């Protein structure tokens, strides 16, 4: 068992209150709560996670810091969307490949929100050249991809391959190629959803690592497609 014994109900309570008070004045008055009830537990979890994720793959980084690390900022980018609320109402972190520079790199993911907890792995909306490398690898290694898609442990813990799809086949790829439904994807993700109450239990941390480990064949395939070590 890990020394990390689960998240506190206070973390989810803070996020719920933030949802109802998503403004700069309220957040300024409650910033110390945010640091104590959200940032500090997330950093503690990441610190505990480092050796376990290194055992799964030494090439994915857990940067256990409140700022400029694996934890996403609470501040929303409001420049382009209609929603101008200044803060995210979930806490999230991504443990990306050592060569990855942004959220679009291969990585493992954890999100805590008032109504759900998401554990995920994969690559989200990468640039088209990167995306086409994955697509081409699926076509060239169709049997390997099929074995990953149907892997019993992966499907039991993380369900099937997800990711938004193009309506038609991408340029340069034919409908007659293997796995056309996956070749049309713009992201390649596996995920599972838990209840916040489950994330507060001592067993959650070990299940988190077990879920990340179950994604290993999938993540290894993505890395090979991008000529990255796993």
Stretch (H or E) spanning 109: strand 107-112
Is the pLDDT score of 193 beyond 70? yes
The pLDDT of residue 83 is 81
The pLDDT of residue 2 is 58
Is the pLDDT score of 114 beyond 80? yes
Give residue-wise pLDDT tens across range 5-46: 999 999 999 999 999 999 999 999 999 999 999 999 999 999
Confidence bin at 54 (pLDDT 50/70/90): very high
Question: Higher model confidence: residue 100 or residue 23?
Answer: 23
Give the start-to-end residue ranges of the domains of the chain: 9-226
Contact between residue 109 and residue 94 where contact means Cβ atoms under 8 Å apart:
yes
How confident is the model over 106-133, as a mean pLDDT? Answer: 97
Beta bridge partners of 227: none
The pLDDT of residue 82 is 80
Cα 20 off chain centre by: 25
Is the pLDDT score of 1 beyond 50? no
How confident is the model over 76-92, as a mean pLDDT? Answer: 89
Give residue-wise pLDDT tens across range 142-176: 999 999 999 999 999 999 999 999 999 999 999 99
User: Class of the 9-226 domain?
Assistant: alpha beta
The pLDDT of residue 102 is 80
Mean pLDDT of the chain: 95
Confidence bin at 80 (pLDDT 50/70/90): confident
Is the pLDDT score of 55 beyond 70? yes
Q: Name the maximum alpha-carbon separation found in the chain.
A: 59
Is the pLDDT score of 85 beyond 50? yes
The pLDDT of residue 103 is 78
The pLDDT of residue 61 is 96
Is the pLDDT score of 197 beyond 70? yes
Measure the CA–CA gap between 204 and 137, rounded to whole angstroms: 34
- Residues 192-217 as b/e (b if ≥16 CB within 10 A, e otherwise) read bebebeebbeeebbebbbebbbbbbb
């Amino acid at each position: 068992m890990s020394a990390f014994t689960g998240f506190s109900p206070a973390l989810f309570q803070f996020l719920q209150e933030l949802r109802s008070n998503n403004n700069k004045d309220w957040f300024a008055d409650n910033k110390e709560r945010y640091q104590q009830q959200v940032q500090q537990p997330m950093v503690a979890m990441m610190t505990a996670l480092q050796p376990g994720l290194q055992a799964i793959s030494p090439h994915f980084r857990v940067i256990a810091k409140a700022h400029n690390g694996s934890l996403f900022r609470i501040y929303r980018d409001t420049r382009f969307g209609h929603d101008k609320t200044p803060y995210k109402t979930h806490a999230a972190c991504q443990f990306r490949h050592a060569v990855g520079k942004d959220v679009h790199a291969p990585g493992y993911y954890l999100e805590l929100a008032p109504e759900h907890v998401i554990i995920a792995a994969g690559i989200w909306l990468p640039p088209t050249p990167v995306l086409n490398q994955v697509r081409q690898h699926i076509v060239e290694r169709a049997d390997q991809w099929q074995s990953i898609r149907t892997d019993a442990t992966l499907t039991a813990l993380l369900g099937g391959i997800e990711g938004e799809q193009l309506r038609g086949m991408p340029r340069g790829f034919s409908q007659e190629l293997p796995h056309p439904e996956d070749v049309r994807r713009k992201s390649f993700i596996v995920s599972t959803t838990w209840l916040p109450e489950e994330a507060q239990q001592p067993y959650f941390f070990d299940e988190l690592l077990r879920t990340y480990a179950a994604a290993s064949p999938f993540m290894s395939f993505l890395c090979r497609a991008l000529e990255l070590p796993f």
